[in-house]
Amino acid sequence: MGLGLLAASCDRSPRVNPDPSTTAQGIVVASAHVVFSNERKEALLDWLAAELPKRIQFPISRTEWKGFTTIIPQLRVETKPVALTIQIDESGSYVPAEIRELADHFRPVLDQQTHSTLARAASRIEVASATSVKPSVSGKPLVVTTATDLDPRAAEVDQVLTALSDLTNGFTIDLVNLAVRVPGSNRWISR
């Protein structure tokens, strides 16, 4: 995954959800990640479902993303102006490498110890809009373009990201604005 693909524009215009009975749900475009070293023994999504309501006031429900052959469990949080979804990705085959790539992107603005801690993280919580978005496909070579209507800097979304970071002692990565926030801080750092 290249960094050019990480920076998604944040389209705040209202979207109409496609009819889920006729096709797989739209592509999931993460607006933010919370990356950390997971030392928990229980299922992370179950633990978050129990702990997150203690830290935020928004309704939370279980849901899932359905592809043609894949189902991914999620939590849905009723933030405004856009509801969000939370899903876990701990695949050892690509998540650590993608986190290292992000860490290297932010190396110029992080001290060595902070960069090293971020680069060693192997788990991530993906935060995306609950609004299903269909990508557009065009050209040769093939170009896939998509957008998100979830801004990590929106006040309610930021509250959820802060709670997730506090619970996991994780770094928050704003993929829309390409910024990072270290655990325990409320300051975004951009390159």
For the stretch 50-90, pLDDT in tens is 999 999 999 999 998 887 788 899 999 999 999 999 999 99
Domain boundaries, the chain: 27-183
DSSP result, 18-68: P-TTTSPPPBP-EEEEEEE----SS-HHHHHHHHGGGT--S-EEEEEEE-S
Give burial (CB, 10 Å; 0-12/13-18/19+) of 45: middle
Render pLDDT for 24-35 as a digit per residue (tens, 0 to 9).
Answer: 455 667 899 999
